[in-house]
Amino acid sequence: MEAGFCIEGAEFRGEGNSSLVCALKDGASVLKLKKTSVVFNENVPVIEEDWLGLHKYQVSFIRNVAVPLFGASLVDIPTIVQLRGEDIAKLNNLVRQDRAIHRLKKTLSPSLNCGLVFPDNCLFKSLPQNNIPLEGPLVCVELKTKMGFLPVGIPPDLQLKSRICRFHLVQNRKFRQGRVQQISNYCPLDLFSGCPERMECAILELLHNPQNNLRVFCDRRQIFGGERNRSQLDLREFFKLARDRGARDLCNLIKMALCLPLKEDRCKEATLGAARVELRDCLFSTKCCCDTGSSGTCPSELIPVSRHRIPERSVLWRILQCQQLSSEDVSKIYRSTYAHHEPDRFFNKMYPEAVIPKNILSETKIQCESQEEFEHRVLWKFLVALTCRDCSVMLTMQRISKSWSGKPSDPKLNVLEYGGQRYLLSIGVVDLEPKKLDRVAKQFQDDLSMINNFSMEF
């Protein structure tokens, strides 16, 4: 653990349900910090060593699970840094004014004594060695894709989940709670459909109503999206445009980046796994008209047997693969496996082990497995799949000077050609937080509540 870490000049970057991120003054890193409830239980003190153990586990999870599943070119392994009580107090005061009101129910614990430092995905991490001439602003798009398919094995009492994706169940609840002013028309099933028209609709909907699911940064500064930002997107300088603000051009670049086949650097199990493009429709998804011939915009090679495909090895393909480590509905996991699990098989009796189990691709119990080992594997895959459904994709792009026509030697760097320009691209997958075992029961109860209270009137 790195001691004597300096937080001076740190700035709020963003936050999720369990962590808060600050950009650091060094200009190349971000600091990720765990949050806890504002209401502390004085009878159950948090031991400082617990924080260090949790962060060591998280580093191990990223190194031994996330990197093999997604690839070393997409996932960065963080370092642990030591923090003092006064650092935490300063950071709490520093970021408070930038946080959304509904997020303030959680804060940084006064006993927190360490954090994780990651490379900043708003920058090209290996550019100096490549000596590529770039021009114009450096733009980074952060995109939360969410769950890109409907679960299988849905019981009769939860059949609404076979017609409405979980993203829209959550949107409905957020609207009722006043956490969003307008329900988003974005549907993850459109983004993961492989259909160019549906993907375009999904991205344009995120640009129209980004909430916390899409953010755009320019030279490390957030300029669009997020929970509190209400500014208009303007990328005229990035695209060298005279009038148009560049929203549709950005949409096209995002679509190209998400579908770009990448150099294979994953573990063998991940490369052998498949990804199932969802054939069922969500009530909020866009209808694909390609098979009927009413639209001629989809290349025919993308439509084998009346369905589209996501290009293999692309970041979108990899995310869907990892999300589908467990395709079963949470109700089946909860009712058949969670009820009699063995907590001792989990880290601190609550987190999935930081190692990929054998036979990860098998959906059924294999001959050499005991029933306990099989059930542990089922729970492990479900918890890791939950992590992958909450992850974010970072697309970092900058225009390449027309004086350079080469190819980058670094596998983390790619080139997109669009509108007569070449753009340098770096892709990262972040927010890979391990999920606690009790998320199984919580998600099951949440789904029941959201279904019982769902209303199409909104």
Same domain, 184 and 244: yes
The pLDDT value recorded for residue 296 is 41
Same domain, 29 and 104: yes
Amino acid (1-letter code) at residue 350: M
CB environment 190-206: b (16+ within 10 A), e (fewer): bbbbbbbbbbbbbbbbb
Same domain, 225 and 371: yes
What is the SS3 assignment for 347? strand
Q: What is the chain's mean pLDDT, rounded?
A: 88
Same domain, 229 and 371: yes
Same domain, 114 and 138: no
- The answer to whether 216 and 232 have CB atoms below 8 angstroms apart is no
Query: Which percentage of the chain shows pLDDT scores above 70?
Result: 91
Between CA 310 and CA 257 the distance in angstroms is 12
Residue 453 domain flag: yes
Q: 129: pLDDT confidence band, cut at 50, 70 and 90?
A: low
217-231, 397-411, 414-428: range with lowest mean pLDDT? 217-231
Q: 297: pLDDT confidence band, cut at 50, 70 and 90?
A: very low
First to last CA, the chain: 49
Same domain, 95 and 131: no
Q: 304: pLDDT confidence band, cut at 50, 70 and 90?
A: very low
Give me the domain span that covers residue 99: 11-120
Which of 120, 150, 185 is where one domain is finished?
120
- The answer to whether 252 and 412 have CB atoms below 8 angstroms apart is no
- Is the pLDDT at 292 greater than 70, yes or no? no
Q: What's the alpha-carbon Rg for the chain, to the nearest Å?
A: 22
Q: Which among 1-10, 80-89, 343-352 has the top mean pLDDT?
A: 80-89
Residue 362 domain flag: yes
Q: What share of the chain is helix, strand, coil (3-state, %, to 5)?
A: 35, 20, 45
- The answer to whether 372 and 93 have CB atoms below 8 angstroms apart is no
Which of 120, 135, 155 is where one domain is finished?
120
- The answer to whether 419 and 256 have CB atoms below 8 angstroms apart is no
Same domain, 387 and 245: yes
- Is the pLDDT at 154 greater than 70, yes or no? yes
Residue 5 domain flag: no
Which of 99, 120, 141 is where one domain is finished?
120
The pLDDT value recorded for residue 1 is 61
Q: 294: pLDDT confidence band, cut at 50, 70 and 90?
A: very low
Give strand pairing partners of 421. 418
Residues in Cβ contact with 292 at an 8 Å cutoff, skipping those fewer than 6 apart: none
- Is the pLDDT at 193 greater than 80, yes or no? yes
Same domain, 49 and 84: yes
Between CA 17 and CA 36 the distance in angstroms is 10
Residues in Cβ contact with 66 at an 8 Å cutoff, skipping those fewer than 6 apart: 75, 387, 429, 432
Give the tens place of pLDDT for each residue, 237-248. 898 876 677 889
Give the tens place of pLDDT for each residue, 376-388. 999 999 999 999 9
Same domain, 298 and 314: yes
75-89, 187-201, 312-326, 341-355: range with lowest mean pLDDT? 341-355
Same domain, 156 and 248: yes
Residue 2 domain flag: no
Q: State how many domains the chain has.
A: 2
Residue 370 domain flag: yes
